[in-house]
Amino acid sequence: MAPLRRGPGDPCLQMADGAIWRTSLMPSGPVTARITRAAPDAVDCAAWGAGAAEFLEGLPGLLGVHDEAADFAPTEPTVRAAHRRVPHLRLGRTGRVLESLIPAVLEQRVPGVDAFQAWRMLVTEFGSPAPGPAPELMRVPPPAQTWRSIPSWKFHRANVDGGRARTIVGCAQRAVALEKLASRPAAQARAALMSLPGVGQWTAAETAQRAFGDADALSVGDYHLATMVGRTLLGHPIDDAAMTELLEPMRPHRHRVVRLLIESGLAVSQRRGPRLALQRISSL
């Protein structure tokens, strides 16, 4: 569930008392869930709120129980070694499209710390209190109608530029259709996301990874990913085009390969290099 966390101050996912706490807005209502490991292959989950039963019904998917990897047999030496180190990696799916899409839009073209702060500010102000005994400051994400009604100056105060703000509002206006994508094949759903104004390949992939558990959703356009993949598999940095070509034989598991490299500890990152500059527009 680590990819679901939008920074250490995420009001929708926290670690406390040895448990993972998550909030979500289900079709049936808000929910707070507390998930703990009961055994190496089992968890306990308690949930509160009107959406509790629906959340529990979808818990196996969230934990990756239905992740299909039987046909994954990597031959590339480093990927094969990563798979041996993390043989039970599961790619979970939330089934909640807007809750994955909006944070991805916030992360477009800005450093993660900026995007995480914007998510925290907007959800804290416009979300609702987390039901049950949730840790302090946790909130339930706002519904689509609230995202649609956030004034531009509130986005500006959260350091969100007009382009990303308009994309978020546009996505929220299409929320009903977007949530239906969770029932479609992942590749089709990803293509549908890319038809949205302001949603490109990277944003669609980041959303599909989390909402659909899309094992092939490669984050082309990521500021660091191609460099990491190149250094890890070839010993030198490469660009997006070369990364796409390199990972082409690994369809339909390209995102799984990236996760394995990271989770296994074999990923080689550039120690020093260019970084996206922090952008402060809220004071303008």
In a domain, 165, yes or no: yes
Strands 29-39 and 42-48: antiparallel
In a domain, 140, yes or no: yes
Q: List helix spans (H) across 134-281.
A: 144-149, 152-157, 162-173, 175-180, 186-193, 201-211, 225-233, 240-247, 254-264
In a domain, 235, yes or no: no
Q: Taking residues 240-253, report their average pLDDT.
A: 98
Tokens at 51, concatenated: 């959406």
Considering its fold, how many domains does the chain have in total? 1
In a domain, 269, yes or no: no
Q: Taking residues 225-248, report their average pLDDT.
A: 98
Query: How far from chain centre, in Å, is Cα 281?
Result: 25
Contact, 93 vs 211, CB < 8 A? yes
- Alpha-carbon dihedral sign for residues 167, 184, 245, 82: positive
- The answer to whether residue 270 scores a pLDDT higher than 90 is no
- For residue range 124-146, what is the model confidence (pLDDT) as tens digits? 999 999 999 999 999 999 999 99
In a domain, 167, yes or no: yes
In a domain, 56, yes or no: yes
Return the bridge partners of 44, or none. 36
pLDDT score at 271 = 57
In a domain, 153, yes or no: yes
CATH number at residue 162: 1.10.340.30
Residues 6+ apart with CB under 8 A from 118: 106, 158, 159, 160
In a domain, 125, yes or no: yes
The more confident residue out of 254 and 269 is 254
Least confident of 55-64, 89-98, 113-122, 273-282: 273-282
What b/e sequence results for 196-205 when a residue is b if at least 16 CB atoms lie within 10 Å of its CB, and e otherwise?
Answer: bebbebbbbb
pTM: 0.93
Range(s) of the domain holding residue 118: 2-74+89-212
